[in-house]
Structure 1
Amino acid sequence: MEFSTKSCKNLRIGVDVGGTNTDGVILDPARASEPDKGIIAWHKEPTTADPNVGINNVITSMFKTSNVKPEDIASVTIGTTHFVNAVVERDTTRLSRVAVLRLCGSFSKHAPPCVDWPPDMKSLILGHYALVKGGLEVDGSLISEIDDKDIRAQCTVIKEKGIKSIVINGVFSPIDVLYKQEERAAGIVATEIPNADVVLSKEVANLGFLERENAAILNASILAFARKTIKSFQVPIKRLGLKCPVFITQNDGTILSGDMAARLPIRTFSSGPTNSMRGAAFLVGNEIKETVMVVDIGGTTTDVGLLLANGFPRQQAAYSELSGVRMNFSCPDIKSIGLGGGSIVRKNANQITVGPDSVGYKLLEKAIIFGGDIPTATDHTVVGNPDIAIGDVCLTRDTITRKDVTEYKAVVKKMLEAIIDKMKTSPEDLVVLLVGGGAVIAPDELEGASRVIKPKWSSIANAIGAAMSRVGAIIDTIKSTETKSTKELLAELCEDVIERAVQAGASKDIVEIVEMETLPLQYIANKSRLIVRAVGNIDFSRARDFPISHFLDTVDEPGNKTLEYEKPATKPLDIGEAPASQGLEVEKADIFTYKPTVKERVWYVSETDLEWITIGCYILGTGGGGSPYSSMLRMRGILRAGGIIRVVNPYDLKDDDLVGCGGGAGSPTVGIEKLQGDEMMEAQEELYELFKGGRATAMIALEIGGGNGLQGMILGASTNMNIPTVDGDWMGRAYPTKWQTTPVVFGERSTVFCPAVMCDGNGNVVYMPKATSDLMVEKVFRAGLSQMGSHVGCAEGPITGAETKRWVVEHTISLSWRIGRAVKQARKLNRIDNVAESIIDEIGGKETAKVLFKGKIVGVERTLRMGHIYGEVVIEGTDVSDFNSNKQAEFSGKIKIPFKNENIAALYMKDDGNEDVLAIVPDLISIIDAQNGEAIGTPEYRYGLLVIVLGITASEKWTSTARGIEIGGPKAFGLNDTEYKPLGKFVKPRSVIDEYSEGASAILLNTSHI
């Protein structure tokens, strides 16, 4: 292609180095609207063992086919799957062992590093860890100062183990601008272990202690290989005389400098699928203005994701996973299967199989049409398509029969239809875009697709996406609102984040703020979490002012064997899946046939039970209660250590049994950073040391909603207590105060929650032996909470079994279990669009619960009053093309949901300015993610989330008396002009113990109290 380069200063080169092919494009973004999309030249060839050779060949070929000169190029942007492949493939030649130093004191001891990793990944990467002094409170004050001697002692151990990659992770380190604990600890490590790779967690990710640490560990493990690989990428750039900046694409469709990518390779892990999807959006332009499925078929794998109407991929939820490792930065929601142009085709017992293994980048030598002896997907496609004339087609047709081709096509069609169906949230058909070099193997029609489109240049969509990447920056911090308003702080942060984007290469004139969020912190005076993100186009007028690629004295040249590797012919892993050869410690149960273990009226909780209960607890949290994730990890640790967790029916208690209660209290934002130590158990021990009325013989959760829903079982299973937990709680949901509980509703005691103890884990204990009312207990503890780090463990004096049977909201652990099972089954069947209906069936049917609304969050406001987060979220009925809903007519218009930590009401916003009450407390109003069926808490509400609003009728323990409605209803939340009207008819949850006990007599036992 001939092209005039006169006055052309903004040409972009995009290169994508995949596991099979290396693709390249030279593109003029100023001509993107023209028929040729501004594509000046492109080239594709097999990836070389030494990737810099392939990059050199691709760029050289493109220069030869056009008259573009090196001086015309403003930037080179490279996307690569090298780093993520090393993790997915568990490649010991490319992954380093890592040591972790936590600056946390006694906190987080029950969730050690890699606690939530697949066992094989943990054993491969984690070489050592230690919990040492350090960490901050949420207000920026010290938990404790770091101890130099302690860190040096750990360095000695790390050196003895031969570990050269070290992660330092401090509690609330992302807001540490004063003490710089991670930086100081890194300085000590650098002195003690020269030439070590030290990764600071605060540089990798934001708030979320475990998830940030996980990301930092993976980053540290891949660091040495990434540095070597990126150096190799720079070799052909220098050799070809390109004097321009070199960028690497990252997960969100924006770019990193080469030096930054060498320090933070984890930010590139999902860039391959993102590049392909962004390239697909570029190729179809304004032709399609709806959500479409992008199917990217390479040489080894097929990646499938949803491309939203805004041109960006659908993202995973607040947390993302890679090979079972949970992290807290956004990644595209992608699923992969082992199908590509190089997939090996076998005939076993007259049955054709395709993949998952592949000849990969050796297609041109291994495939039959190119003189090899391995039948591949490309061979069968060529034989079955007379319009394709490559390689030795005649030879191939002698080897592969027409019947083989017919069966092969049926298998490929079935594989693609299955993965497309798995990604859909509705049975409705949608447009499918086929891209990637292997797209030729896909049929022109697929079940589930309204139409199949293969855009021109689709084979190089990944390179196009890389070339068109933008520049971004994000700030996620906690600020004081004592002297400046939130509006003033956001204005300052917007200026800062725009400047960061400009420093990264964006044009200041067209940088836009694409995300701005304010999250006031519960129980913490004058503190808010602020998140601001900016994105802009590259400023090519400054391109030659950007740092040119940094070269060390010794740069790996082509042929350096340290970079050459044979890609293992392994099956690609779905998210969360471990290799079949190693597997997980606990075999996954069949969720359609699984039965819990109930013996002699005692339910012995398993890991499967725990998973389902956790999902259900968060949904019953009605937006509050905090995420149960860290509590789940602690409870799972008890089970894996051989502990026994028992649940009993409340009506099986003896009247003189003593039922204790305890759990955590504080801000959910603090809870995701300052993970539990022993403060909950310490509170129990302090209580019984001071209180002489007898120890508990069973435990009960204060609230089933959120993280506290699991605390009763954790406390009961502890070695100090070893007692069962009652299948019930004192709320049947989550409420913002301890005062809003059913024992207070019944009012049979002047105070239920005295004596009470509160411990902060730092040695401070508050004991309240008596009070004038439970409301006074609440006020005193809330005041103390703000001075004790907004994170404490609490214990309340035990009550009798007879009282428990009168006051309990029964069978709520069972209800959580059933809700979680419904969500898991809906996901397994790929019918998330009906997940709410499945939950309703488990709760008791349409009389007791209903879908209130389906739509998209279009507004969120939050403010902090008296320690609680007040606010409202506005949800708009979303167009079918965005939401894939076949019931859109039922959910037009907008609703708003006010909340005080938890959701208070669902109000339909009428055109005349009035509002209709769809549901209101004490009935439960839960917002669940329409893409995965799990709960979304009030801190996680953000613009653009597709959600389902679920209403559940409250227990009769709340609604049968005026006092219950007074304490838990509208007036308790300041809605004095609104009367409570039941959403439906309450149906008591079915007891798991009753249903799964051996023999029919167990069921009869429970009828006497109905």
Structure 2
Amino acid sequence: MHIGIDVGGTNTDAVLMDGTTTLAGVKHSTTPDVTTGIVQAIEDLRSMHPFEGGQIDAVMIGTTHFINALVEAKRLAPTAALRLGLPATKALPPLVDWPEALAQAISARSYLAHGGYEFDGRPISPLDPDELRAHAADMKANGIRSVAISSVFSPVNHDLEVEAGRIIAEELGPDVAISLSHEIGRIGLLERENATIINAALRELASEIVDGLTAAVRKQGIDAQIFLSQNDGTLMDEDYVRLYPVATFASGPTNSMRGAAITSGLETCAVVDVGGTTADIGLLINGFPRETANEVKVAGIRTNFRMPDVLSIGIGGGSIVDPETGEVGPESVGYRLTTEALVFGGSTLTATDIAVAAGRAEVGDPSKVAHLDPALVSKVLARIAERVAEAVDRMRTSPEPIPVVAVGGGSILLPELLPMFGKVHRPENYAVANAIGASIAQVGGEIDKVYAIEPGRREEALSEVRAEAVDKAIAAGAAPRSVAIVDFDEVPIPYLPGNATRIRVKAVGDLDMAV
């Protein structure tokens, strides 16, 4: 057996699974410290379906800890941004487009140094070790505890980033965390640099959170390995999370979409995940979320790490309803739903109250919403259906019909027939689909590099890259026989010498529970 947990802004969902069979599922209010909610969710699972700690093979967690810390600008480490690129790139220094409040929250300091590469692989300028040591001395004097290093065109050649990281680490000591941009983002200097700075600012918090989650699970007598779900729907172990906390940012929507796939049996569909605060709409292609091709803004910062293509609208079970206009959201009572909604004795009209008044949900005290005007109730529900249908229509890439799957506790707000799309599929255990998605997440291995392919060796080179991706997935904990290639891109780069080609291969497999 294994446990899947998904921590949302309003609810913490947990499921006890035996393979792909759901033995028990619970929904618990997210607590302000998050970890307490996880402990309580596991206790609720145990009361529904008793189990011993030794019977659990793995615990998979999707968490909003890191994205919340960035959005709230709290618990971030003093961070330095070091860019290798002089004499180029001086016009737009690191952190140039950051919101002032966030830059202050990380006590940001930026540095420019010589180094970097042109797009064709030629060096811009040689690395200057003395220059780097002088920068490191200034970092130490200003209490910097985490450093983000980015080099111009490091995805083409990352040697200078690695060397600069070694020099900075020597000067600042082992307690300072170093993040390198070629390990985090794609081509696109400012976006890749921003993603690396965010990662660096979260490194200290990552260790605290992983330790806290581990302690919470161990407190329940569970000694199984703990995994966190990442943006692409695959799992990462505790050590990986400590190094790359940004990889968890979109785990919530990803888990919901993967859970929708397994519970509905549909591998290509539109998924509408209605939670307590937002409705997240995404497309599943062959069982995995479609990746966004655009830059991703996180807390107002442009980044370019891999994220699912998700459209979020401010509609959820905790959304505040204007009784005069019938408009819903985007403001929400969030995890305070059980104290502020009318059906729970509160004074705020929420979408959950509307659902109870319409007979779509049985929670709280229905008598507390009996006074609501039926016309208002119908108007609000129609408005919700209209806005969700518009969002799904914006996400699809062709006029062809596409099935719509509704998951999440807030999906009771949606009608049986959605405008433009017809029947809404609401699978079994839809309310905890996100936790199911976390529990059935697979292990991945990805290769994204520029290769010089010799004439006549194309097929051999591609086979080697595919094998490397498979080996990487197995090394990450995938059962060897279950690994398959799920994504492959081959893009010739005409401006690089040596018949250069960018190759991206992604392999995934089931978690090897025997490890």
> Is the TM value for this pair above 0.5?
yes
> Residue in 2 aligned with 1:240?
220
Q: Does 1:86 align with 2:69?
A: yes
Paired with 1:514 and 1:341, the residues of 2 have a C-alpha distance of: 35
Q: What is the match of residue 13 of structure 2?
A: 23
For 2:370 and 2:364, the matched residues in 1 are separated by: 11
Q: Find the residue that maps to 2:289 and give its secondary structure.
A: coil
Aligned-partner Cα distance in 1 for 2:383–2:432:
25
CA contact (8 A) 1:99 1:129 kept: yes
Match of 1:56 among 39, 49, 60: 39
Please tell me whether residue 346 in structure 1 is matched to residue 322 in structure 2: yes
Q: In the superposition, relative to structure 1, how do residues 334 and 516 fare at CA in structure 2: closer, same or farther (>3 Å)?
A: closer
Aligned pair partner of 1:465 in 437, 447, 453? 437
Contact kept, 8 Å, 1:254 with 1:471, in 2: the verdict is: yes
> Is the Cα–Cα contact under 8 Å of residues 430 and 450 in structure 1 kept in the other structure?
no
Who is 1:262 aligned against?
Answer: 242
CA contact (8 A) 2:231 2:247 kept: yes
Verify the 8 A CA contact 2:233 2:289 in the aligned structure 1: no
Partner of 1:672: none
Inter-partner Cα distance in structure 2 for 1:447 and 1:498: 43
C-alpha distance in 2, partners of 1:484/1:202?
30
Q: What is the DSSP-based 3-state SS (H/G/I as helix, E as strand, rest coil) of the residue aligned with 2:23? A: strand
Answer yes or no: is 1:451 the counterpart of 2:427: no
Report the TM-score, using the length of structure 1 for normalisation: 0.48
Partners of 2:319 and 2:492 lie apart in 1 by: 52
Where does residue 412 of structure 2 map in the other structure?
Answer: 440
Deviation at 1:150, TM superposition (A): 1.2
Rounded to whole Å, the distance in 1 between the matches of 2:453 and 2:354 is 65
Shift in Å at residue 76 of structure 1? 0.7
Q: CA deviation at 1:207?
A: 4.1
Q: How does 1:79-118 map to 2 (within 5 A)?
A: 79-87=62-70, 89=71, 91-96=72-77, 98-115=79-96
Q: Does 1:475 align with 2:458?
A: no
| Residues 372-521 of structure 1: pairs in structure 2 closer than 5 A | 372-385=346-359, 388-398=361-371, 400-425=372-397, 430-481=402-453, 485-521=457-493
Q: 2:271 aligns with which of 294, 299, 312?
A: 294
Equivalent positions of 1:5-24 (< 5 A) are 11-24=1-14
Give 1:164 deviation, angstroms. 2.8
Q: 1:140 to 1:417 in 2, by over 3 A?
A: closer
2:280 aligned to 290, 303, 319, which one? 303
Q: 5 Å matches for 1:625-640? A: none
1:315 aligned counterpart, secondary structure: coil
**Secondary structure in 2 matching 1:438:** helix
Deviations 1:340-391 (A, max 9, x none): 11112233xx323322111111211222222222222112211221x64332
Equivalent position amino acid for 2:53 in 1: P
Distance 1:403 1:172, change over 3 A: closer
Deviations 1:373-423 (A, max 9, x none): 2222112211221x643322213324x343432333233233323323332
Of 337, 355, 363, 2:313 maps to: 337
- Counterpart of 1:452, as a letter, is V
In the alignment, the residues of structure 1 paired with residue 117 and residue 488 of structure 2 have an alpha-carbon distance, to the nearest angstrom, of 25
Q: Cα 1:352–1:526, aligned 2, differ >3 Å: closer, same or farther?
A: closer
- Cα distance in 1 for partners of 2:492, 2:326 equals 58
**For 1:604-1003, what aligned pairs fall within 5 Å after superposition?**
none
Aligned counterparts of 1:320 and 1:368: Cα–Cα separation in 2: 37
Q: Does 1:204 align with 2:184?
A: yes
What percent identity do the matched residue pairs reach?
40
Contact 2:361 2:412 in 1 (8 A): no
1:255-304 Cα distance to aligned partner (Å, 9 max, x none) = 1112211211111111111110110011111xx46x43211110111111
* Closer, same or farther: CA 540–416 of 1 in aligned 2, 3 Å: same
Which deviations, in whole Å up to 9, do the C-alpha atoms of 1:619-640 show, x marking residues without a partner?
xxxxxxxxxxxxxxxxxxxxxx
Question: Shift of the alpha carbon at 1:147?
Answer: 1.7
Mapping 1:153-232, distance limit 5 Å: 153-174=134-155, 176=157, 180-194=159-173, 195-232=175-212
Asked whether 1:149 is paired with 2:123, we answer no
What is the distance in 1 between the residues matched to 2:504 and 2:270? Answer: 30
**Rg (Cα) greater in structure:** 1
Q: 1:430 to 1:119 in 2, by over 3 A?
A: farther
- Assess if the C-alpha contact under 8 Å between 1:19 and 1:82 holds in 2: no
| Secondary structure of the corresponding residue to residue 305 of structure 1 | strand
Q: Is the 8 A contact 1:319 1:330 kept in 2?
A: no
Match of 1:828 in 2: none
Counterpart amino acid of residue 164 in structure 2: A
One-letter amino acid matched to 1:21: N
Q: Secondary structure at the match of 1:316?
A: coil
In terms of mean alpha carbon deviation, does 246-255 or 424-433 score higher?
A: 424-433
Q: Is the 8 A contact 2:73 2:102 kept in 1?
A: no
- Compute the displacement of 1:484 (Å): 8.6
- Is the counterpart of residue 538 in structure 1 residue 511 in structure 2? yes
Q: Distance in 2 between matches of 1:417 and 1:176?
A: 45
Could you give the per-residue CA deviations for residues 948-976 of structure 1, whole angstroms, max 9, x where no partner exists? xxxxxxxxxxxxxxxxxxxxxxxxxxxxx
Would the aligned equivalents of 2:491 and 2:502 in 1 still touch at CA under 8 Å? yes
User: CA–CA distance in 2 between the matches of 1:395 and 1:514?
Assistant: 51
Alpha carbons 2:195, 2:303 under 8 Å: kept: yes
SS in 2 for 1:243: coil
Residue type matched to 1:376 in 2? T
Matched, 1:44 2:42: no
Do structure 1's residue 369 and structure 2's residue 343 form an aligned pair? yes
DSSP 3-state at the match of 1:540: coil
Contact 1:20 1:300 in 2 (8 A): yes
What is the distance in 2 between the residues matched to 1:123 and 1:232?
27
Query: How far is the alpha carbon of 1:208 from its aligned partner?
Result: 3.9
Gaps of 5+ in 2: none
**Cα distance in 2 for residues equivalent to 1:395 and 1:526:** 71
Q: What secondary structure sits across from 1:307 in the alignment?
A: strand
Name the aligned partner's letter for residue 128 of structure 1: R
Shift of 1:457: 0.7
Matched, 1:283 2:254: no
Specify the SS of the correspondent of 1:214.
Answer: helix
SS at match of 1:541: coil
Contact in 2 for aligned 1:97/1:164 (Cα 8 Å): yes
1:76 is aligned to 59
2:327 aligns to what SS in structure 1?
strand
1:16 aligned partner, one-letter code: D
Amino acid at match of 1:392: D
In structure 2, do the counterparts of structure 1 residues 307 and 418 end up closer, same or farther at CA, with 3 Å as the change threshold?
A: same
- Conserved? CA contact 2:74–2:105, under 8 Å: no
Show CA shifts across 1:874-913 (max 9, x none): xxxxxxxxxxxxxxxxxxxxxxxxxxxxxxxxxxxxxxxx
Letter in 2 for 1:241: G
Q: How far does residue 476 in structure 1 lie from its aligned partner after superposition?
A: 1.9
